Structure 1
Amino acid sequence: MLKALSLFTGIGGLDFGFEAAGFTTIAAVEANTTVAATIRLNRKWDVLETNLDPRRAVDICSSTIIKDAGPLDIVIAGPPCQPFSKAAYWREDGASGLDDPRSRTLNAFLQVIALTRPKAFLLENVPGFAARGHSGGLDRVLTGITRVNSTFGSRYRVHWAKLNSADYGVPQIRERVFLVGAEDGRDFIFPNPTHRNASGTDDDVRLPLYTTCWDAIGDIPSSSDDSLRMKGKWAGLLPSIPEGENYLWHTNRGGGMPLFGWRTRYWTFLLKLAKDRPSWTIQSQSGSASGPFHWSNRRLSATELFRLQTFPQNVKCDASRSEMQRMVGNAVPSLLAEVLACEIKKQFFGAKLDTSKSPTLAVPKSETAPRRTAVRPVPPAFHELVGTHADHPGTGLGPGAAAGARAKRDALRKFKAA
């Protein structure tokens, strides 16, 4: 039995994948009461329901559950990603990256590694965690691991990569950064992609095409659940947008009516799935007009969201829609976690894997997806928006970014004045 300690567990996306690869979660650390209840609803893991910060790390590592487990094979963690997201760099309150109090969880992760010294670790976060010019999170971990090695004589070497879930069979385009290390200092080679985009290079032609939304959720009957019906100001406009498009369809560069300026809204605004493509990234926050929406112009059901995240089929969630969306949107697709866990098991623990078999959580290919649903005309109520709309001025130049920059400058002046 390979024993895993799970930090910032959430609904368990990472854990489900490691479980499928043969690891056992001996304890899950999660602070949110609703999320902890969801973990218990699905698995019999011991849940340490507590905030994980540097002050609590010692208590967690000295708990009876951890001590009785003996030496840990791996610590897996997905600390809060909001401080390192692209949006955080333009927040009006000026807090982003390591300035955000939530980033202290990195110190807690490092302290758990120092106290338990597992044979391996895996940490996951958003691409902004290692973005050029904003890589404070990555630098913090690299520096911290160096200190752990210096203090305890371990030889952890951090290997990191940005991976796209769709490249590994997940029916969702979702990029995340993964950091992997082994206590004995051996190298880790990230797995090669197993799937390809239809527009890939000639070198990719031997790989199967990306897993599509139809593969994942096409067999789910159409739902008439009123709770999934899109509501709000923009509900009537969604049927006029083709599958795989968003509000950009109705700009001067799209194929619809000029209702909006180019890139003046968030990407998820009126974003719709296409049957023959992977899903766009499932978000943790879901406004009334924020997608991705189903191609039948409604919100996605819990079952559909779980399928697009490649959770095991027996996963349940007894929570409000907003809480469920947050849990799913914050999770790692379990199939990608399984692929990484299998590589860790092979490279660090000497396991022999049957490469002729697909991963346990792989999504079976279905029949060819039906033709795309025809769009409807733009309702007359939206015709008053037709006109010439200015494009977004560019990255870092919009009104939100300007307000955020002003807030940061003001905060810096106050700091210097103090």
Structure 2
Amino acid sequence: MADQYLSVKETSEILNCSEQYVRQLLRYGEISGERISSRWIVASESVQNYRIKGEDESLSVPDHGRRSFSKPDLKALSFFSGCMGLDLGLEKEGIQVLLACEIDTAARKTIEINRPDVALIGDIRDYSATEIREKAGLSSTDEIDVIVGGPPCQAFSSAGKRQGFNDERGNVFLTFIDLITELKPRFAVIENVRGLLSAPLKHRPHEMRGRNFPTLSQDEQRGGALLFITQRLREAGYSISFNLYNSANFGSPQQRERVILACSRDGKKLPYLTPTHSEKSLYDLPRWRTLREALEGLPKNGHHFVKFPEKRLKYYRLLKPGQYWRDLPKELHQEALGASYHAGGGKTGFYRRLAWDKPAPTLVTHPAMPATDLAHPEEDRPLSIEEYKRIQEFPDDWIITGTLLDQYRQVGNAVPCSLGRAIARMLLTHLKGEVPIIYSDFPYSRYHKTDDVSWSIDTFGYLEESSEKQLSLNLV
């Protein structure tokens, strides 16, 4: 079963549920799938794992308080922690995480086995600010230096329905903002997908737009979700700085783009992150780290990976490092892609072998889905979990728990450690009163007008800080 793909209908029959429920499982990441044009394909191994998993409560990790009595100089609380990629980056620069918040069973076990002294809590909505302080071993007067978190991004992802705050996960985002304003850390850092820059407060389906429908309301305009978030934080006294960052510019061997919001309680606007690398040695910075550098020294044996179906290996055997479906003989293009051949877009993820001398593309939660393949440059297989860990910069001895697909999901969703380190360095520079290094007009990502200043002007026609315009929040 491991090398097959299923339709939504076939999946519903295996799980004995409706096709609508299968699509819900796909949207929430409970099973792995890929949307190609208007249809879903499902990884059969993930369906099998979901069917037999049957959550064994005796093996789950209970919530618990911090198991260490020491209080470090710089204290952080982490929410939506996953397998702690961002947290490891903070730690490497001297900011210690006292508490992690995560609901995923496998990720909780990962946290527990690697950082058993860290307090661990589950659903953020089940805890008050006072209870969170208690779990972290902090008194009501102890200063919290940093709160970090990457709330679930599917509600804002352009790949989904973009329900925003009407989505259950979007509501968790608002709970996170409320906790920041109650706990009052010196700094707050929020990580999310690029889609947050354009997501509305309230989503109207595209088939209900146009000349036969009312014009979009203010809540339905692009950018409304981010505007609401920043206004709520500003009302609590925080300054706001944000940009879209390519992690390759900070030493990660991966081109992963994420929005980072940096907030400061002192009201002084925090600077953008300082790059350490550049694609073309701009400002004499070292060039981007490559896949070859990331995997250097990794043993060739003992890798764990999912498999490609034999019918797809036929095409992979014709491809060299850095090539993809367009590099196949032209007469094989339609045969290789099947119905997807007529789908729109560049389809760059189909039959994609990674290049040795470039950073990896963004890691996904399953490396063998046809539209987002992540194949080894030379071997006829997807990237292994050991290679995933190297690309996301986890130590080789960092244990990722759960099934193989659980592990791919955790590492694929993680924040690269280098990006976490860059965030920590920016905060420490501000705390010390040092002047940050600023590279004028640096291309932080492949997109334009993604920083807080140009985004406000481009999206609303005015600087957000100086505007008295407000958006209402209408939750369904």
TM-score by length of 1: 0.73
Between the two proteins, what is the percent identity of the paired residues? Answer: 27
Mapped to 2, the partners of 1:216 and 1:197 lie a distance apart of 16
Measured in 2, the distance between the counterparts of 1:65 and 1:333 equals 25
Distance 1:62 1:43, change over 3 A: closer
Map 1:159-198 → 2, pairs under 5 A: 159-198=241-280
Q: Which has the higher contact order (CA 8 A, sep 6+)?
A: 1
Within the alignment, does 1:122 sit opposite 2:189 as a pair?
yes
The answer to whether the 8 A contact 1:61-1:112 is kept is: no
Check 1:350–1:24 CA distance in 2 against 1; reply closer, same or farther (3 A cut). farther
**2:391 matched to 1:315?**
no
Take 2:426 and 2:308, find their aligned partners in 1: how far apart are those partners? 41
Counterpart of 1:144, as a letter, is: R
The question of whether the paired residues in 2 share the 8 Å contact of 1:251 and 1:258 is answered with: no
For 1:238, the aligned partner's letter is Y
**Aligned twin of 2:134:** 63
Give per-residue Cα distances to partners, 1:206-249, cap 9 Å, x unaligned: 22211000001033243475755433542322222332233343
Aligned to 2:176: 109
The residue aligned with 1:35 is 107
Query: Over residues 169-219 of structure 1, what are the superposed CA-to-partner deviations in whole Å (9 max), with x where a residue is unaligned?
Result: 110000000000110111211133222224x7xxx1622211000001033
User: Which of 69, 72, 87 in structure 2 is aligned with 1:15?
Assistant: 87
Deviation at 1:84, TM superposition (A): 1.4
Question: Partners in 2 of 1:106 and 1:250 — Cα distance?
Answer: 44
- Residue from 189, 207, 217 that aligns with 2:285: 207
RMSD: 2.8
- The aligned amino acid for 2:406 is E
Q: CA deviation at 1:110?
A: 1.3
Displacement of 1:61:
3.0
Shift of the alpha carbon at 1:272? 1.7
Which whole-Å CA distance do the structure 2 matches of 1:347 and 1:106 have between them?
Answer: 26
Q: Is the 8 A contact 2:306 2:384 kept in 1?
A: yes
Whole-angstrom CA distance in 2 between matches of 1:301 and 1:234:
18
In structure 2, what is the equivalent of residue 274 of structure 1?
355
Pairwise mapping of residues 11-410 of structure 1 onto structure 2 (< 5 A)?
11-53=83-125, 56-58=127-129, 60-61=131-132, 63-68=134-139, 70-89=142-161, 96-131=163-198, 134-147=222-235, 149=236, 155-198=237-280, 204=282, 206-223=284-301, 227-231=305-309, 233-250=311-328, 257=333, 259=335, 260=337, 261=341, 264=344, 267-289=348-370, 290-295=372-377, 296-350=379-433
8 Å contact from structure 1 (residues 9, 28) kept in 2: yes
What secondary structure, in the 3-state scheme, does the structure 1 residue paired with 2:386 have? helix
Q: Is the 8 A contact 2:305 2:383 kept in 1?
A: no
Gaps of 5+ in 1: 90-94, 150-154, 355-417
The normalised TM-score by structure 2 is 0.65
Looking at structure 1, the residues matched to 318 and 134 of structure 2 have their Cα atoms a distance apart, in angstroms, of: 56
> What is the letter of the counterpart of residue 239 of structure 1?
R
- Tell me, what secondary structure is at the counterpart of 1:63? helix
Q: 1:25 to 1:212 in 2, by over 3 A?
A: same
Shift of 1:140: 2.8
Q: Secondary structure at the match of 1:172?
A: coil
CA 215–262 in structure 1, closer or farther in 2 if over 3 Å, else same: farther
Q: Decide which moves more: 55-64 or 342-351.
A: 55-64
**Aligned-partner residue type, residue 160 of structure 1:** F
Shift of 1:75: 0.3
Gaps of 5+ in 2: 1-72, 200-220, 438-475
Task: Choose 208-217 or 61-70, whichever is displaced more.
Answer: 61-70
